[in-house]
Amino acid sequence: MAAIPFGILTVSDSCAQGLATDTSGPALAALLEAHNGLYTKAHAHAECRLVVITGGTGMAATDVTIKAVQPLFDKELPAMAMAMALSQVAAGIIKETLILALPGSKKAHAIETAMAKAGTRHLHTAKGTPKHPGSPHHHDKKRDIVTHDKPENTTRMVACGCGRRDAEAPSGVTNDLQGGVTKRARHSPYPMIPVDEALNHVLEHVPQPRPASVHLAAIRDGMTVSKDVVAAEDVPGYPASIMDGYAVVASDGPGVYTVRGAATAGSQLGKLMPGEIMRIATGAPVPDGADAVVMVEDTRLLETTDDGSEELKVEILESGRVQTGQHIRPVGYDTQKGSVVTRAGTRITTAGGEIGALAASGNTAFEFMSTGDEVVDTLQANAGMQLARGQIRDSNRPALLAALRAVGPDKLAKSIKAALETCDGIITTGGVSMGERDWLKPVVEQKLNGKIIFGRVMMKPSKPTTFVALPEGKFMFALPGNPASALVAFHMFAAPAIRKLAGHVVNASVDDNVAHFVGDSLALDRGRPEFMRGRLVWQKGSSKWTVEAADRHQQSSRMASMQGANALIALPIGTADKPTVSNNELVDVIVIGDVLFI
Ligand SMILES: Nc1nc2c(c(=O)[nH]1)N[C@H]1C(S)=C(S)[C@@H](COP(=O)(O)OP(=O)(O)OC[C@H]3O[C@@H](n4cnc5c(N)ncnc54)[C@H](O)[C@@H]3O)O[C@H]1N2
Ligand code: MOO
């Protein structure tokens, strides 16, 4: 029995550039030569009956061995490749030579096993030896090379379908489809590999998703952002009021002032003159000349127009003394133009924060990981739209899929009535606090015959959350307009309601869902229990749940504070005895998204 002449081809950038020494090639050669004299180094290329290519079969962009060698095969041998039970291998025949492309592993033992499994010993049916005369493939030497189980036994020709009686399938070769039952393999040619190895194979072979541009409207949970998203504009884009009240000059202090009209959200304003104040709504641009806002609760109406329809003089009470900047969100307070809003790798969750943050970023198309071509940017119409002073992006609508826009109480009532014809319940955001155009509550009471079950909740954020019972057993959640408030209120109240409607058992209590708080010592709010947006994680190593703030900035106007949140951290009201929450302390959590295991 003649030894098989073999050649080794090492594929390595670093070896080729002289930056590394080839150890895989010589190791393989030594291994083959030591293999019971079955193999011998070929003296010339043309002599090789076996070529082992080592290296360049991995997952890196520069690993192109398999791609390069596969097109050269006269016949590819996938079952043989599979039988080697190594990831990233290729096996095939070129003319009469078996080519094996293997990883550049130095583990000779692994390769030896692989070679044995691959059945290269069949190559001992030396070149030129007549094979199974009478076989329809009898001149097909490529086939001979792979189908002979034992070199000296030319009768074991199962895969070539030559009609021999010994039907044992050669190792590494599947049944011949034409062979029929008598030719079937009586043992599986596939090695039984461990579960984790199998999973690794799966993960290695599943291709990386290709990035695709996805319009905001087409973003769905489960997608992954493939490129950092940068804020296209400041949020807010103008100094905005945080409260419903009056825009003032802080240094003027308490006293009686002339009311110079109203600055509502979205309005264009003139300059505030000395001795004047201007009515202002939450979210409205602070007029030039003003540098603080006094809450309406800290004022008293002194004089109106004769018909009583307009305010003329208002007193700022002592309780309304404010400092420069008070109740104003400066430009970029929530998000600064150019800052990264959403990092590559962020997964869109059903908690809503990511989609909301993208919506608030001022972009309309985003790069997402995608496996299909069906997700394309079809709605570019709004791309690049500039915001006018006083305008904001509607981030709540895509986040909650249920925002309501209205320009007056009648239209608002009409919209709600129309929605009620087809829905059991309605969710709205905005217009529920103290502003002059915060019509939600009066509209449901006065125009819709609704009963406000509650109109404020002792919580931070989402204080003005409103729940309404409507005729015919219908109901309405009127959530606050501040984006984080809207989502927190949704998860706290609307989501359980929807779950109950779906027949789920719903537990109203937040007790017992306990996790260890991770973070610096944090001052508890003295007025309201706080529901921080958090990230809940099961720490496998220490076998405990931990929760940390999903975002350092937790203001209710910042949609990004919801990004990455899968839980709300239910913090108690701070007291003199218990003013802070500390690192590792147990806190209650409400799960609002997928929990993470690390
Ligand atoms: N004088 C007082 N003013 C405010 C009080 C208060 O007790 N006294 N409460 C504050 C709190 S707390 C909240 S929360 C907000 C809630 O206000 P509204 O529910 O009436 O909402 P709006 O005034 O319509 O908007 C608030 C804020 O949110 C922005 N917004 C509204 N809709 C959207 C949307 N679809 N997407 C993105 N952003 C939205 C809006 O521009 C405002 O900045 O009231 C405080 N005021
Ligand atoms: O209650 Mo509000 O901003 O704090 O949601």
Q: What is the CATH number of the domain that holds 89?
A: 3.40.980.10
Q: Which residue has the higher pLDDT, 379 or 567?
A: 567
pLDDT bin (cut points 50, 70, 90) of residue 538 is: very high
pLDDT at 416: 82
Is residue 364 in some structural domain? yes
Q: Which helix (H) or strand (E) holds 29?
A: helix 24-33
Is residue 158 in some structural domain? no
Q: What are the pLDDT digits (tens) for 78-111?
A: 766 766 656 677 888 887 788 888 877 655 555 6
Alpha-carbon separation of residue 58 from 53, 62, 103, 208, 357 (angstroms): 13, 9, 7, 14, 37
Whether this prediction's pTM lies above 0.80 is answered by no
Residue 243 confidence (pLDDT) above 90: yes
Distance 262 CA to ligand 2 centre (A): 22
Same-domain pairing of 499 and 411: yes
Give which of 567, 509, 558 is closest to 537, Cα–Cα. 567
Q: Which domain holds residue 75?
A: 50-117
Same-domain pairing of 574 and 501: no
Percentage of the chain beyond pLDDT 70 is 71
Same-domain pairing of 578 and 546: yes
Residue type, 413: A
**8 Å CB contact between 461 and 484:** yes
Q: What are the pLDDT digits (tens) for 110-161?
A: 566 666 655 555 554 434 333 333 333 333 333 332 333 333 332 222 222 2
Q: Which of 202-211, 224-233, 446-455 has the lowest mean pLDDT?
A: 202-211
Last residue of a domain, one of 62, 87, 117: 117
Same-domain pairing of 205 and 254: no
Distance 485 CA to ligand 2 centre (A): 6
- The arithmetic mean of pLDDT across residues 193-197, rounded, is 67
Same-domain pairing of 505 and 581: no
pLDDT at 63: 79
Same-domain pairing of 442 and 339: no
Backbone angles phi, psi at 268, to 5 degrees: -100, 135
Residue 19 confidence (pLDDT) above 80: no
Distance 241 CA to ligand 1 centre (A): 9
User: What is d(CA 215, CA 586) in angstroms, rounded to the nearest whole number?
Assistant: 41
Choose one of 327, 401, 432, 433 to mutate for the ligand 1 pocket test, by most ligand atoms within 8 angstroms of C-beta.
433
* CB 283 near ligand 2, within 6 Å: no
DSSP structure string for 96-153: TEEEEEE-----HHHHHHHHHHHTGGGGGS-TT---STT-TTTT-HHHHHHH-SBTTB
Q: Which residues of 63-92 are buried (b: 16+ CB within 10 A; e: fewer)?
A: bebbeebeeeeeebbebbbbbbbbebbbbb
Total of domains in the chain: 5
Q: What are the pLDDT digits (tens) for 248-303?
A: 999 999 999 999 888 765 556 678 888 899 999 999 999 999 999 999 999 999 99
pLDDT at 141: 34
Sign for the pseudo-dihedral over CA of 422, 428, 434, 439:
negative
User: What is d(CA 464, CA 175) in angstroms, rounded to the nearest whole number?
Assistant: 71
Using DSSP's 3-state secondary structure scheme, residue 198 falls into helix
Is residue 374 in some structural domain? no
Residue 523 confidence (pLDDT) above 70: yes
Residue 168 confidence (pLDDT) above 80: no
Distance 580 CA to ligand 2 centre (A): 20
Give which of 240, 236, 214 is closest to 227, Cα–Cα. 214
pLDDT at 145: 29
User: What is d(CA 142, CA 91) in angstroms, rounded to the nearest whole number?
Assistant: 12
pLDDT at 586: 95
* Average pLDDT of every residue of the chain: 77
Is residue 169 in some structural domain? no
User: What is d(CA 352, CA 187) in angstroms, rounded to the nearest whole number?
Assistant: 53
Is residue 538 in some structural domain? yes
Give which of 213, 94, 77 is closest to 142, Cα–Cα. 94
- The arithmetic mean of pLDDT across residues 389-410, rounded, is 49
* CB 485 near ligand 2, within 6 Å: yes
State the ligand closest to the CA atom of 235. 1
* CB 461 near ligand 2, within 6 Å: yes
Is residue 107 in some structural domain? yes
Same-domain pairing of 567 and 540: yes
pLDDT at 392: 57
The CA-based diameter of the chain, rounded to the nearest angstrom, is: 119
Distance 243 CA to ligand 2 centre (A): 10
Same-domain pairing of 400 and 495: yes
State the ligand closest to the CA atom of 281. 1
Query: How much is the ipTM here?
Result: 0.94
pLDDT at 163: 30
Same-domain pairing of 12 and 33: yes
**8 Å CB contact between 319 and 298:** yes
pLDDT at 509: 62
